[in-house]
Every structure is written in C-alpha cells, then in structure tokens.
Amino acid sequence: MQHTVGLYGYDEDAIHVVDMHTTGEATRIIIQGYPELKGTTLLEKRRDAKLRLDHLRRRLMFEPRGHRDMYGALLVRETEHVFDGTADIGVLFLHNEGYSTMCGHATLALGRFLVDTHDSTVFPGRKDLPYDSESQTSTVRIHAPCGVVTVTVPTTIKQIGGNDVHVSDPSRAVSFTSVPCYVSLLSYTLPIPQTHTWPHLEELGKSDIQISIAYGGAFYCLVEARELGFQDGLRTKGIELEDYDRATGKIKALIESDEEFCKRYLRHPDEPDLSFLYSVMIVDHDVPSANLSSSPPAEVGLCFFADQQVDRSPTGSCAGARVALRMAEGTMRMNEPRDFHSLVSLAKVGSGDALDRGAFRALGIEETKLSDGTSAVVVRLDGKAWYTGTSIFVAEKLDEIARNGFQLRLPNA
C-alpha cells in the first residue's frame, strides 16, 4: 500500500490512520498527514478544525472511507496542558456532525495505542510515560476538550527486534478517571407537544416524560425506555431501532429549541464551548440474568449522539454522567461499581467477567466541586479496546464524489 500511494503520487493528500474498536464502536486514530491546527489552546484548535479543515473530518468519517456512525480521534501534539506539563498529548474527537468534547470509548482505545506506539513523530512524549512495575501499568494523561483525563493502561513486555519493549496488555482492562461529573437537572417533567410526539408515546396517551440532565465530559439527556412508551424497554418485541431514533430525535430537537432551558441546564460553568446537548441516552435497568457478571449491578443504554449517530459501546462519558445521576438519586454509593451495557455487549451472553464481553464498569472515586460550587464526582471507568487495522487514505483532486466524503440521503424536494 505504501508503494502504491507513492507510485501514483498522492502522498501530499495521504492521511494515515490506525483503526480500533471498543465494544464494536469505531475509533479511527489519525496519526499522520493532517495539517497543523492553528491556535494556542486545544479549544482554539478545535474551532480551527471546524472552520478551516472540516472537509477532512467529512473525508475520514463519511463514505466511502467511513460510514454514518464512524468515529475518529485526531492526535494533537501541542496544547496548553502539554506545554505546562499536566498532559502528555491532546486529542480532538470527530463524529458525523462535528467534534465532541469527550469520548470514553475512544479514550480507552487511545490509551492502548499511545502505549503501543514508540514513534516519537506520532507521540513525542511516549518515552516519558511513567511505568509502575508493581501493577504493571503505564499512565497517559490525555488532554481532551473537556479537560485532562488520566488513563491507566495494563502493560507487558514484548520482544521486538531483539529488544524488550513495553506494550499494552489486552487481557486486562484499560481504565481512566473522568473530569468532574454532575447532575444539572434531576427528574424533570418535560412536556411533549403534539408537534414533537411519537407513536409509542401517543398510544399510551402521554404528553410528558421524566428526564434528567447530567454531565460526564458532555451533556446528556437521560430517560428511561418505558418513559418513552417502550413497555418492553430496549427489546425487539415489535420495536425497531428507527423507533428509538425517532423518539430521541424529537426530544433533542425539543430541548434545543428551548433557549431558556439550554441556558439554565446545559451551561458549563467554565467553558461556553462545552455548553450544548450532545446526546439523548435511553436507559433500561432490566438486564437478563444471563448477561450479568457475578458481582456489580448492571443497566443497559442506547445512546443517540451528534446527528443521531448510534453508539455501539456503552458510552464511557455517559457512564460517568450516569454514575453522578445514580448517586444523586441515592441508588449508588461512592466506590460502588456498576456495569454498563450496550446492545452489543448485551447480545454477548456468557459466563465470566462482563468486561470481556464489552461492558464498561464505572464507580465514583472522589467527591469534588465545580468552580461555581456545584457538587460533582470523579468517576473511574474500566473497559477494553481492540485493534482492527491500519489505512492510508488518499483523495484525488478530480474525484467530486469521494474527495471529501458523502452521506447517502434522499434528495431534497
């Protein structure tokens, strides 16, 4: 492939990536070929990516190189926290609509990759990562748009080229500690006008639902499946994925149309760039016993985020938001673990640890406060990520269809 790219002279536009997945949710890690971002801070560079280089996001996320639910991570080697020594590397997260502020599943994948790469052009700080011989783990501090996230990566020694090299140990879970997670709105009755209702809610004669808003690096609207009129929860008894899509899309549009609601409940105390509704997460506490591991309680979630993108993983940043919510409800205590499943991990029936089947495990480890005095909790999350391949993507100048990607949609009337 390297020879083919060089042979036909597309090297100037070639972008190199490493592909991974976490419970089936893709993380396309961009390691080479992306132009330098302008700005001093990570959020300034995020704005530059949106305004000046968004065609590259579309090229890498959309068809034919990606798909509607593709997810990416752009390594940013220089940020304000890398310069002040509180982070080892920065990252921007990419999806079908733009750029998210935090992503748990991608953070787990990045942890493994950043330990495994020994290429200083990809990760200049790799040689300085601390290694703990007692726990056999390496620590990486990743500067995400929401803040610095510390990732602990199980590490083993492998012989490469006659040398002992530290690499990630896939038999053990990666973990990270979150930014402060908190609840901004607990058990709120949201009126659903006729313009924003959906068939399953109408069948019950309901015109409102109970929601909560919580932050885990991004703002999430959390709602029980049965609140939406799905009496069997996240099950397929006469229900299609499109039914959940329709309901969550209506809820998100309704919330985003209410300027006062957004100002009050979707406002981050420190950063305006973090003040928006990222996702609607449908929650179901009815987990079949065959899917439960031996100890922690469990719940299932179906996350629609960005432009109704569906997360295959249990959604790591939302797991942090859900821990904060459960603690606010009084149904979960500090240092009490809980397993979070997605539809993918739920389908993997088997014995042994649920982490091996794609579940995430999360628990609150520290109480803290935000700058405005709001109570929050730092959450630790464990999960596993896996490699799927590497690619070099090129774009021919005369390729009007695929040069900057496309999404398959019906034509406008």
Residues marked as catalytic? 103
Q: Tell me the CA distances in angstroms from 105 to 233, 252, 360, 384, one per residue in order.
A: 24, 22, 9, 9
SS3 (DSSP) at 132? strand
Helix, coil or strand: residue 326? helix
CB 174 within 8 A of CB 152: yes
Cα distances from 150 to residues 163, 301, 358, 403, 404, in angstroms, run 28, 25, 21, 36, 34
3-state secondary structure string across 258-314: CHHHHHHHCCCCCCHHHCCEEEEEEEECCCCHHHCCCCCCEEEEEEEECCCEECCCC
Cis? peptide before 297, omega within 30° of 0? no
CB 15 within 8 A of CB 60: yes
DSSP secondary structure code for residue 226 in this structure: G
CA angle 167–109–347, rounded 5-degree value: 120
Identify the sign of the CA torsion 199, 203, 206, 211.
Answer: negative
Count of all residues that appear for the chain in the document: 413
CA distance 37 to 48: 6
DSSP string for residues in 67-91: -TT--EEEEES--HHHHTTS-SEEE
